Amino acid sequence: MSILLALAAAQAAAAAAKPLTPSEIVAKAPAAAWREVAPDDLMVIDYQGGGRTIVELAPAFAPVHVANIRALAGSGYWNGASIYRVQDNYVTQWGVNEGGPPVPAAVVKKPPAEYDRPLKGLAPRPLGYPDAYARGVGHAMGWPVAWNPATSRANLTHCYGMVGVGRDMAPDTGMGGELYTVIGHAPRHLDRNIALVGRVVEGMEQMSALPRGTEALGIYKTGTVARMIASVRLASAMPAAERPRFQVMETGSATFAAYVKARANRRDAFFNVPSGGVDLCNAPVPVRRTPALSSSSR
Amino acid sequence: MSILLALAAAQAAAAAAKPLTPSEIVAKAPAAAWREVAPDDLMVIDYQGGGRTIVELAPAFAPVHVANIRALAGSGYWNGASIYRVQDNYVTQWGVNEGGPPVPAAVVKKPPAEYDRPLKGLAPRPLGYPDAYARGVGHAMGWPVAWNPATSRANLTHCYGMVGVGRDMAPDTGMGGELYTVIGHAPRHLDRNIALVGRVVEGMEQMSALPRGTEALGIYKTGTVARMIASVRLASAMPAAERPRFQVMETGSATFAAYVKARANRRDAFFNVPSGGVDLCNAPVPVRRTPALSSSSR
């Protein structure tokens, strides 16, 4: 063996011995480990005065609610709406609180309570660590999910950045005109009590860093709002050149399995003691802007 | 039985049948279910331009670090310091990043790594639900803790609002001049890797609602800060009439046990399906301003 080959072999062995960090695993993920988000599943919220938040919708989990949201966005329902609730360590909520423009005819006013769905068809990857709320937790189709083997039902979970449909005290679900995102520790007690419809994929800080509302539940005082919304559009309704494009890591991939393992056993230079475990909401599914050269395979 | 007595009995039976919500349990907690926080354990952070954050220190878990922090506050070390790091879904960090005033002689420059402590003496109340990170989790002396029965070691946990001591990449712990608080989903992977020294008991929104820093790790651009700190004082160093007073729920009390059970089985009007479980950081220990008529028993 030449000196150069021996050196290369030694370097490879050293690299193999040092486990990759979660960030390194994501950076090195092969193209096949990513799925492109369909333009109909991307909701683009632009604020008056600048700033943007982008949400990925989850039609596989709440199809009627997501269809409502697409119809509302398509009609310009939220253009001129506001963020009117910011409750610390809980949620930021936006939309049309009272009154507002006419609701398009396509919107189902009383959608079914899409708080869970059949486990069948999801084939989730189990997280592999215990959970306080559900018998089964893991990831399916790029989403954090919980399930009950006894009932064969599964649900999205209230992790940081997940988006749900605001509703009143009555168990009837909301039609989708008011939405919220989680800005604190995962309020998993809301799981199966409310319809989750997606997650923020970019611009989370536009919602999490707002002054907290001073009234009960973080509601802003009457006549004030946290910020005004200029427009809400689906990416599919935007000119092709302006459409944002995102990819979500395939949670069934070997890359994602390695990522979760690395999150549970941090070996970054900073860490002295790996946990040996990670909870569902502390292993967020990697999301990225679609690289310029990537093919839009979906 | 008179009509009035029968009515009262019927009302009592109805009240007994409807489980109390977590808020109701806290509101009705007897005086004995609360412990007064000692003035030496309250750190009062006042900001330039107004606003205040109050931190309860945890000397039972990190005595050398807490002694350092008391000495730094006593010397005025942080008067004119800043919040210079705000990383979304992670931490807000403040203190003296570089340079700064002289460190008082009483400060231990290289404190021991108080990342955990003996389980002995804590007698924690087990949470009663599974945890992804530790064999044992629950509460001791009003704090969220994890422990390992095999090693008989226990540690504070990185829940929302917990305060820790910033350190460099080297495993040496920091001396206490830089502190952070958790502003997102609990980063429990930091447990046992860093010294936790307390928690925010009031004014959390002064740290969580700040614009996120734009540099790596949420650090603010050179020459800019999130906000300036006017002063940091212990309550014990303030005139008696100005001292804030707080009480923390006794986590060994029957009231706290009822509170955790109610958090795990929400029966508030809003909820359709109780979880049947709760995770450690989603059962925050109740804290309140000491009521005006309460005796300062500690």
Q: Which residue in this structure is represented by tokens 């001049």?
A: B177
Residues belonging to chain B: 298
Lowest mean per-residue pLDDT among A73-77, B9-13, B187-191: B9-13
CB B286 within 8 A of CB B262: no
In chain A, which among 59-98 make CB contacts under 8 A with chain B? 86, 88-89
* Distance in angstroms (rounded) separating the CA atoms of residues B73 and B229: 12
Residue with the bigger pLDDT between B213 and B7: it is: B213
Side chain identity, residue A58: A
Residue B80, exposed/middle/buried by CB under 10 A (0-12, 13-18, 19+)? middle
Q: What is the C-alpha to C-alpha distance for residues A86 and A208, in angstroms, rounded to an integer?
A: 8
Which of A159, A193, A266 has the CB atom closest to B189's CB atom?
A266
The nearest alpha carbon in chain B to A90 belongs to: B184
Structure tokens at B144: 């969220």
Residue A184 touches chain B, beta carbons under 8 Å: yes
| pLDDT over 90 at A86, yes or no | yes
C-alpha to C-alpha distance for B65 and B172, rounded to whole angstroms: 13
E strand residue ranges, chain B = 34-36, 42-47, 52-57, 82-86, 91-95, 117-118, 125-126, 136-140, 143-148, 153-156, 162-165, 178-182, 196-202, 227-234, 246-249, 287-289
Q: Residue A54: is its pLDDT beyond 50?
A: yes
> Per residue in A224-247, pLDDT tens?
999 999 999 999 999 999 999 999
Tell me the average pLDDT across A207-219. Answer: 97
Interface check for A191 against chain B (CB to CB < 8 A): the answer is yes
Please give the residue of chain A at the shortest CA–CA distance from B214: A205
Nearest to B188 among A115, A193, A279 (CB): A279
CB B160 within 8 A of CB B92: no
Q: What is the pLDDT of residue A289?
A: 98
pLDDT at position A170 is 74
3-class secondary structure, B66:
helix
Give the best-scoring range by mean pLDDT among A11-25, A99-113, B276-290: B276-290
**Cross-chain Cβ contact A208/B88 below 8 Å:** yes
Substitution target from B189, B192, B208 for chain A, most A beta carbons within 10 A:
B189
Which pLDDT score, from 0 to 100, does residue A296 have? 47
Residue in A191, A271, A279 nearest the CB of B132: A279
pLDDT range class, residue A83, cuts 50, 70, 90: very high
pLDDT value at B170 more than 90: no
What average pLDDT does this structure show over B250-276?
93
Could you write out the three-class secondary structure of A137-200? EEEECCEEEEEECCCCEEEECCCCCEEEECCCCCCCCCCCCEEEEECCCCCHHHCCCCCEEEEE
Q: Residue A202 region, left (φ>0) first, then alpha (ψ -120 to 50), else beta?
A: beta
Please give the Cα distance from A110 to A3 (Å, whole number).
Answer: 73
Q: What is the DSSP letter of B75?
A: T
Q: Is B199 on the interface with A (CB under 8 A)?
A: no
ipTM, 2 decimals? 0.92
Position A221 pLDDT exceeds 80: yes
Reply yes or no on whether the pLDDT at B14 is more than 70.
Answer: no
User: For residue range A115-157, what is the model confidence (pLDDT) as tens digits?
Assistant: 999 999 999 999 999 999 999 999 999 999 999 999 999 999 9
**pLDDT > 50? residue B64:** yes
- Average the pLDDT over B197-213 and give the result: 98
B98, pLDDT greater than 80: no
pLDDT at B269: 81
Mean pLDDT, chain B, rounded, equals 93
pLDDT for res B97: 75
Helix (H, G, I), strand (E, B) or coil at A206: helix
Q: What residues contact residue A172 under an 8 Å CB cut-off, 6+ apart?
A: A110, A113
Give the percent of chain B with pLDDT over 90. Answer: 84
A100 pLDDT more than 90: no
User: What pLDDT does residue B15 have?
Assistant: 55
Could you tell me which chain A residue has the CA closest to the CA of B184? A184
Are A133 and B89 in contact (CB < 8 Å)?
A: no
Q: How far is CA B246 from the centre of its chain?
A: 12
Residues of chain A contacting B196 with CB distance shorter than 8 Å: none
Instruction: Give the mean model confidence (pLDDT) for residues B244-270.
Output: 95
Q: A14 pLDDT exceeds 90? A: no
Range scoring the smallest mean pLDDT among A108-112, A196-200, A256-260:
A108-112
Query: Can you say how many angstroms the Cα of residue A290 is from the centroid of all Cα atoms in its chain?
Result: 16
Put simply, whether B273 touches A (Cβ < 8 Å) is: yes
Band of residue A278 on the pLDDT scale cut at 50, 70, 90:
very high
In CATH terms, B39-246 corresponds, of 2.40.100.10, 3.40.109.10, 3.60.20.10, 3.40.630.30, to 2.40.100.10
Show the CA angle centred on residue B91, arms to residues B88 and B93, nearest 5°. Answer: 120
pLDDT for A172: 76
Q: Please say if the pLDDT value at position A163 is more than 60.
A: yes
- Tell me which DSSP letter residue B14 carries: H
Rounded to an integer, the average pLDDT of B154-165 is: 98
Query: Residue A83 forms beta bridges with which residues?
Result: A94, A227
Q: Residue A100, exposed/middle/buried by CB under 10 A (0-12, 13-18, 19+)? A: middle
Of 2.40.100.10, 3.40.50.720, 3.40.47.10, 1.10.260.40, the CATH number of A39-248 is 2.40.100.10
pLDDT digits (tens, 9 = 90+) for B218-236: 999 999 999 999 999 999 9
Edge to edge, the sheet with strand A117-118 lists A117-118, A153-156, A143-148, A136-140, A125-126
Q: Does A281 touch chain B (CB under 8 A)?
A: yes
pLDDT at B298 over 50: no
- Residues of chain A with C-beta less than 8 angstroms from the C-beta of B160: 89, 184-185
pLDDT of residue A99: 77
Range 202-221 of A in CB contact (< 8 A) with B: 204-205, 208-212
Cα–Cα distance measured from residue A266 to residue A118, given in angstroms and rounded to the nearest whole number: 34
The DSSP letter of residue B240 is G
- A160 in B contact zone (CB under 8 Å): yes
A129/B129 CB distance under 8 A: no
Segment among A38-42, A65-69, B8-12 with least mean pLDDT: B8-12
Question: Sign of torsion, CA B96 B97 B101 B103?
Answer: positive
Q: Which of residues 228-267 of A touch B (CB under 8 A)?
A: 263-264, 266
Q: Nearest chain A Cα to B268, which residue?
A: A169
Contacts (Cβ under 8 Å, ≥6 apart) of A74: A104, A234, A237
Q: Average pLDDT, stretch B201-216?
A: 98
Residue A115 touches partner B, C-beta closer than 8 Å? yes
Nearest to A277 among B133, B183, B210 (CB): B133
Question: Distance between CA A13 and CA A16 in Å, rounded?
Answer: 5
pLDDT category at A298 given cuts 50, 70, 90 is very low
Contacts of residue A263 in chain B, CB cutoff 8 Å? 189
Q: Identify the band that residue A193 occupies on the pLDDT scale cut at 50, 70 and 90.
A: very high
Q: Which pLDDT belongs to residue B297?
A: 43
Average pLDDT for chain A: 93
Question: How do residues B15-56 score in pLDDT, each as one tens digit?
Answer: 556 789 999 999 999 999 999 999 999 999 999 999 999 999
Q: Is the pLDDT of residue A113 over 90?
A: yes
A275 with B204: Cβ contact below 8 A: no
**Would you state the structure tokens that stand for residue B3, as one six-digit string?**
């009509």
Chain A residues in contact with B266 (beta carbon < 8 A): 189
For residues A131 and A279, the answer to whether their CB atoms sit within 8 Å is yes
Q: Any chain A CB within 8 A of the CB of B186?
A: yes
Q: Is B18 on the interface with A (CB under 8 A)?
A: no
Tell me how long chain A is: 298
At residue A82, does pLDDT exceed 60?
yes
Percentage of residues in chain A with pLDDT exceeding 70? Answer: 92
Confidence band for B140, pLDDT divided at 50, 70 and 90? very high
Q: A203: pLDDT confidence band, cut at 50, 70 and 90?
A: very high
Query: Order of strands across the sheet with B34-36?
Result: B34-36, B246-249, B287-289
Q: How many CB atoms lie within 10 A of CB A234?
A: 19
pLDDT at B78: 97
On whether any CB of chain A is under 8 Å from the CB of B271, the answer is: yes
Q: How far is A219 from chain B (nearest CA, A)?
A: 14
Q: Looking at residues B206-215, what average pLDDT do you find?
A: 98
Q: How many CB atoms are closer than 10 A to CB A292?
A: 6
Is the pLDDT assigned to residue B196 strictly greater than 60?
A: yes
Q: Which residue of B has its CA nearest to A130?
A: B132
| pLDDT at position A270 over 50 | yes
Instruction: Give just the sign of the alpha carbon dihedral B17, B22, B27, B31.
Output: positive
